[in-house]
Chain A
Amino acid sequence: MIKNAEWLVVGHSKDFPIRIGRTIHIKGAEIAVFRTSENELYAVENINPHPKRGPLTEAIVSGHYIYDPLYDWKIDLKTGIVQEPDHGQVKTFAVCEEGEEVKVSLETV
């Protein structure tokens, strides 16, 4: 976890259901937050690394991977890295849950 980062509260735990992405607008950034079946939260920039771009929030979530909604690219939520045979990377952000609050740090990990 990032120590001195600025954490921003983005919502209540129940706003983030399992395997359904949520879009968050915060300080001009657009972020997609996902909760996996293992109950882990991940936050990535909501911009598809595919050259034609598009959102990621509506992806299908499987483990800590998502399948993007427009081109079916497989992306690792932990690193943001697009899986073979495609290439690219999406920005990832730190996200945590404290009590019932979900917090995001805009510093990229």
Chain B
Amino acid sequence: MINSKQKLVVIGNGMAGINTVEQILKLTDKYEITVLGNEPHPNYNRIMLSYVLEGSKTIDDIILNDLQWYADQGITLYTGKMVKSIDGENKKIHTEDGLEIDYDVALVATGSQSFILPIPGKELPGVIGFRDIADCSAMLEAAKTFKKAAVIGGGLLGLEAAKGLVNLGMDVTVVHLMEDLMERQLDREASAMLKAELERQGIKFAMQMQTSEVYGQDRVQGLRFSDGSELEADLVVMAVGIKPNIQVAVQCGMETNRGIVVDDLMRTSVPDVYAVGECVEHRGICYGLVAPLFEQGSVIAKHLAGAETEGYMGSVVSTKLKISGVDVFSAGEFITQPEHTVIVAKDEWKRTYKKVLLRENKIVGTVLFGDVSESASLQKYVRQQTQMTDEIYGQIMGTGCSNHGAKTLSAETMADDEIVCGCNGVTKKAIVDAINDNGLTTVDEIKACTGATRSCGGCKPVVEQILQYVLGDSFKTSAKQGICGCTSLSRDEIVEAIKTKGLTTTREVMNVLGWHNDEGCSKCRPALNYYLGMINPDTYENEGDSRFVNERLHANIQKDGTFTVVPRMYGGVTTPEDLKKIADVSLKYNVKVVKVTGGQRLDLIGVRKEDLPKVWEELDMPSGYAYAKSLRTVKTCVGSQFCRFGTQDSMGMGEVLERKFERLDFPAKFKLAVNGCPRNCAESCTKDIGIVGNDGGWEIFIGGNGGIKARLADSLCKVKTDAELIDIVGAVMQFYRETGQYLERTSEWVERIGLEEIQKAVVQDTDHRQALVERIEFALQQVEDPWKKIINDEDTRKNLFEVVTPSIV
């Protein structure tokens, strides 16, 4: 049989080209596809380069379709191939290195390139754009040796580059021609707030400066401006705009303007050649964002598959800045014109700004700063030019409580082909189908199946709404998730079963309770190990092989496989003798860095695994448990012993508490602070338990957290005596041990259980408090110092820490 498939050749292995191919593959298999791209990589998510630069993602993380994918789909991929020309007459494509490929249908998806200012010195080494992996690697590399960077351009790309470079430790100045940052997406107000926030994050600005020259000898040394002033820089990133890649199109006489001119079906002026993405100009507009190109791709896919399509009508674009802690969003029209009706809310204290523009009562544009939670619905209103109503006003401006209803509604009314996940180009329909066809019930499953939420995560709330909308009433019940993928049982059900059925090992729990996975996973095994130990402190035998490496080896693993050792320093107090010992051991074992931790202790970083037991032995100090789900540090201030304000002995109390409660397992790490007076120098408001001395006793705070989910502690109660203080601290700890979910910090626990409930359990109900205290005392009798234990145990020492180097080889 002759191959009846038509040859589709895609020029450009970028986001638009491959997304279009993905959409085509979903609709038809009548094409035999070849992709030519001049970058050496498979298809990656260009948007995410900002995260790679910032350090939160690696290049590998941002690959969208790996080589295996191309193979699986039967696509022939040429990487590192530059297309030179298209021969429209004979339907052939030529590459620079002489390859010739026939096509029936061709798709130009060559994207664009960074616009480099035509000024003297632009070709000096150290001057780059921000466009691809190569640029990104160049910046990462430069940051290792150089200090000063200048980013020309205060738009989205420039600011993201600047933030990345600041994170890499560079001194960064953004040079901007205009008065306002991101002036093409933000109004003056939002722009000023943005600048202030970024300055706080360490970026410097040179506004209204026109760069006239790049100077330097063998490498860039700085910028010269039109007013004659200069700025030193060892790295210059030009982020002043993009230029569509149209050489291939120009060469074959295709109609081009700024970009390749296409009609509503994305056809170019050459028969059977289509174009998509940033290289395209549609109705006079070139787009520089991904959402439009997904919409364009969907038109091409439908057309090529022979399905009905209205054609591409242009896109309403929206912008979101991907810098952590800076939420900015804009869509549609954003500069106030006389004909607009404007709704504005500015809150200088919370640093939020919200503006919605109406024309003839229709929503035509918006700018959000600081709080972008309404961005998804506003974007939709702008696109559909929705009439403003009381209900919508209430939803977006936050009056009344129609919020919840409105949100579910938005998932319901959202168009099927609307892109929910911008990073991965997943439409609402794709998500709905995935839920229905595969019976999905969780966001994680949707992620695994469609890729939505896989990248920046910004679309998660909407995905959740869709899930809720599709599942309707069954959402709640079916969303019941166990503690991990191995079981559908909740924490409480498991703990209950351990108690009533008298289960004694993780294995037994898994067998009796019907785990799907015989030996569990890295989520449930440590959790079960904890619950079993908490329930039976005297009889349960800790399972080292069910603990995360840090808790098994009693030191913190670092990314290079070495370990960090942190000795105890009760209440953050040490002695010259101990410091000397720490210094001696650090020298002897070649410790890479000695660092003061956030909790007032010393980190010895970079110890080899084999050396750990010897290091502990020679330090001859107790383990600081810096690795454990256990009491970490008790941070203290100077207190009444020395401080002129101190009313209570905070150092003394800190030491007492740390000695008393150390070594016990908790659901998560646990931190304390003790202050001598309400000036709060030891920052007790961000600790699991914070204690503040006052003239007549102490005040106890709980549930604070300074970490990823920052939360200020709540005042639990005031006590008069030290004994009462110690009792209540112990009771809180035990109550948390007994009711907390594994890995749940007290900040979440307090919110889940409720402050009043905890007050009742440990303050008001003194009998209950007493029972808790007795149980924690009992558990405390079972603990021993792990370092000492291992030093004295030849077998564990050998099996856990020694590297085998056979003598025979």
Contacts and interface: CB of A to CB of B under 8 A. Distances in A.
A72 B519 contact: no
Interface string A74-85: 100000000011
B804 A58 contact: no
Contacts of A15: 798-799, 804
Given A37-B519, A60-B525, A70-B559, A19 B545 contact: yes
B809 interface: yes
A60 B803 contact: no
Interface in B505-523: 517-522
Contact of B553 (A11, A58, A70): A58
Contacts of B700: none
Main secondary structure of the interface of A (DSSP, over half): loop
Nearest to A22: B804
A19 B800 CA distance: 11
Contacts of A70: 557, 559
Contacts of A51: 58-61
B545 A23 contact: no
Given A62-B519, A63-B519, A84-B448, A24 B806 contact: yes
Interface residues of A, number: 35
Contacts of A9: 806, 808
Contact of A25 (B447, B545, B547, B804): B804
A5 to B, nearest CB: 14
Contacts of A59: 549
Contacts of A18: 545
A17 B804 CA distance: 13
Nearest to B518: A63
Interface string B516-552: 0111111001100000000000000000111111001
Interface in B480-528: 517-522, 525-526
A49 to B, nearest CB: 10
Nearest to B553: A58
Contacts of B525: 60, 62
Of listed A37, A69, A72, residue having the most chain B CB within 10 A: A69
B799 A23 contact: no
Contacts of B544: 20
Contact of B549 (A22, A26, A58, A62): A58
Contacts of B348: none
A17 B60 contact: no
Given A10-B806, A67-B521, A22 B545 contact: no
Interface in B602-625: 609
A77 to B, nearest CB: 12
Contact of B809 (A26, A52, A84): A26
A69 B548 contact: yes
Interface string B541-572: 00011111100110001011100000000000
Contact of A20 (B521, B545, B609, B803): B545
A94 interface: no
Contacts of B552: 58
A8 interface: yes
A106 B552 CA distance: 29
Nearest to B63: A87
A27 interface: yes
B757 interface: no
A103 to B, nearest CB: 10
Interface string A45-67: 00000011111001111110001
Interface in B560-588: 560-561
B3 interface: no
A8 to B, nearest CB: 6
A53 B519 CA distance: 26
B808 A25 contact: no
B559 to A, nearest CB: 6
A85 B804 contact: no
B805 interface: yes
Contacts of A69: 548-549, 557
A85 B448 contact: yes
A8 B549 contact: no
Contacts of B454: 85
A60 B522 contact: yes
Given A19-B545, A54-B559, A24 B448 contact: no
B66 interface: yes
Given A20-B545, A63-B518, A26 B806 contact: yes
B545 to A, nearest CB: 4
Contacts of B58: 51-52
B320 to A, nearest CB: 24
B491 to A, nearest CB: 20
Interface of B: 58-61, 66, 68, 447-448, 454, 517-522, 525-526, 544-549, 552-553, 557, 559-561, 609, 798-800, 803-806, 808-809
Given A54-B561, A55-B561, 6 more contacts: A15-B804, A22-B799, A23-B609, A24-B805, A26-B805, A67-B522
Closest 5 CB pairs of A and B: A67-B522, A58-B549, A19-B545, A55-B561, A62-B519
12 contacts: A8-B809, A10-B804, A20-B544, A22-B804, A24-B804, A24-B805, A54-B561, A62-B522, A62-B525, A69-B557, A72-B522, A85-B447
